[in-house]
Amino acid sequence: MAYKWCSLMCDNHQYLTDRESLLLSLEIGFRHLDLQRSWIEDLDLIKTEHHQALVNVVFESGDCEVVADLLHAWTVRGRSYETMCTLSGTCMKYLVNLHKLGPFSSRLRQLVIRSVELIGYEGFERVGVEIFVELLDHLHVTVEDMGGKYEWARLLLDIIQSPEGIQQLSHWYWELLVEVSRSWRGGVYNPQIAISLTEAEEWDKLERWTRIVWAAWPPEPGWRTEEDLEQLMIPLFHQRPDAVQKLGQWMEQWSKKWGEEVPESFERTCQRAWEAVQQDLRQVQLLAVIRCPSPHASSS
């Protein structure tokens, strides 16, 4: 009812001067609702010709709680296509810059996280990956904040598919992607990501990417092979020999957490990659001996 009243007010320009009444309507309608229990699938959000005017008034008020009221009004419908279009089409430019107004309240932070989840990566791609990542860093999302792990796995995977995203996404979100990758279950392997990380010598991210790929196990036919994964691990093990043990420990923890057997292919692939690294090191040592003969050989 409160949102319908706001929509009717926006139908008439003269009522937009009465900002206090409009904002009070949102406060009365949505501030008392429990964020965890206010998903209403059949709420009719009336779209009017002056819908953007309501958005402008709310965001330009500079009142973070009023902004939270409006986001609550939109996201109360849950995961509908209409909600995504509303958020993406009317308030994108405001959302990505909202953190510049100051610290978020707990309620506003949760509603912005919910909005990001509903919009998805494609909606934010239009405003630029760098700006979007800056917003994510401010939100510092955790697994407990998420409404749907699958949606966040997809969003973060989409970010690191872009050249800007793979560079700018913080280690916090790479680790978060490890946590939610199981919800994706297959089809995450992209050899270009491993190539980009190797060329940039981003060894911490490459280690996390390796875990992300294995967390989404089992592989789907045609998506990736053990040979692909072996080639992913070789440069990592070269630079971070301790990654062999760390990956083994992580996979054991993963197995206990989800009640699944450690894939035999994981142990087999790790072993082959480590043996390949050892073989490379032996060849390097042999070349060094050949190039630098012993003093006894030179004197004779």
Q: What is the pLDDT of residue 167?
A: 93
Please list the helix, strand and coil fractions of the chain in percent, rounded to the nearest 5, in that order.
75, 0, 25
Q: Angle at which helices 171-180 and 149-160 pack, to 10 degrees?
A: 130
Tell me what pLDDT residue 158 has.
93
> In which residue ranges of the chain is pLDDT below 70?
1-51, 77-87, 186-187, 218-224, 287-289, 291-300
- pLDDT tens digits for 122-141? 888 888 899 999 999 999 99
pLDDT score at 37: 56
- Say what the pLDDT of residue 50 is: 58
At 97 the pLDDT is 86
Q: What is the pLDDT of residue 216?
A: 81
- Note every long-range contact of 154-161, with CB atoms under 8 Å and residues 24 or more positions apart, other chains counting: 154/120, 154/121, 154/184, 155/116, 155/117, 155/120, 155/121, 156/180, 157/184, 157/188, 158/120, 158/121, 158/122, 158/125, 159/121, 159/129, 159/132, 159/133, 160/193, 161/190, 161/193
Write the single-letter amino acid at 271: Q
What whole-number distance in Å separates Cα of residue 173 and Cα of residue 209? 11
Residue 126: its pLDDT value, please? 83
Q: pTM score > 0.85 for this model?
A: no
163 preceded by a cis bond (ω within 30 of 0)? no
